[in-house]
A and B are shown apart, each in its own frame.
Chain A
Amino acid sequence: MWKKIAGILAVVAVGFLIVRAVRQYRQDNVFDTAPAGGGEGTPPAKRSISPELLEILADPADKGPVKLISDNGGKEWLLNPRNGFRYPVEDGIPIMLIEEGEKHRDESLIEK
């Protein structure tokens, strides 16, 4: 009887430790990824860039205006139409790092 209870407790304890370890691992690996948001089990609503922010956003390098575009997959980008740099928008947050814009450059989007 007591052995059985001890066994169950041991299993629960191991489970608890695994859940904690996974949670800690996730917390330590949020360096460059968007969290699930919303709350556990419920998919978060898709967020968009606010019009107030869009009005003043500029390319971090040449400081000229950027345009909000969507690709075929529906993903939003901020395009510098002068050089084709595309800055990703992650869950409504624009990632305005020059190296990101350069990495996702699409020369076909340059407006002459």
Chain B
Amino acid sequence: MKLKRYLVASAVLAIGASAAYADGANIFVVGGKPDDPFWSIVKKGAEDAGLVVEAQGGSVTWLGPQNYDNLGVDAAELIRQAIDQGADAVVGPNWVPEAMNPAFDAVVAAGIPLVIYNAGGIEAADQLGAMNYVGSNDYKGGVAGGEYLGNAGNLNGVCINTLPGAANIEAFCNGFVEGMTNVGGQGSVLPLPATSFGSATAVAQAVRAHLLQNPDINAVFTIGNVDANSAVSGVAQAGRTGQVQVCGINFDESILNNIEQGTQACAIDQQGYHQGYLAVSILNGYVNYGLTVPTREILTGPGIIDGSNVGATLAGVKAGTR
């Protein structure tokens, strides 16, 4: 009985918290899982921009999927949820265009201003009739990583794809292969089965096994910060530290330490904080005061972090903004 009372009390509390709507711009941001290390940074950017939104009488609501098992469909569902909840503006990533485009079309058809961020590029924004694209160009991010490693003399690279099927991840890997080829090397892609997602050991062991079976490979490219740590461990376990260089999309404190110590060569930064921050700011200005940003395709990346600029980045990590 006692238990039941607690449950009821907490349910009421939850409803009370989510019903805080106001007169300003009610902006809905569709993004990744809030516990995803990268997405928590994007979310922080969106929330920091949200301080201004709230000061002007609006609100920012983050909608993220519970898991990535059915990413495209779940995200499309969240976009429709935003429309149903009376969004004044929507920010969303175009992860899986086939599944998500109809939902974005519905946003535009309802006359709700839309900004595509993080994934999709300006092409997707144009095609969908969105106001702008805020994010890095994923393909160029992969190219930058491939060229960096290739120019350092590591000309045989593999991209570890722990999330096969997502459009931006495929672009990272394809870009990486392209970058490797640009500087005269060769690249390949290793897709991992779904049973290894979120398990550092599984990813590390996969990297290690692949390196042992393909001793010619001397460059590893990863698509997320958790994977980079696993890849560095996998390289060490294969006994190839120093010979095989690791570069990856995104970074965190331990990756920066690895870059400082030289066990990781570089990290490609797409500056997720700015993706959330700028997308929300642009829409808030537009909804409230008709402000526009004439620059189309606002690039937040790619930028390369290596031994030369690693120190400057650490402060941002401590603050949860990088």
Physical interaction between A and B: no
| Chain A residues within 8 Å of B, Cβ to Cβ | none
| Chain B residues within 8 Å of A, Cβ to Cβ | none
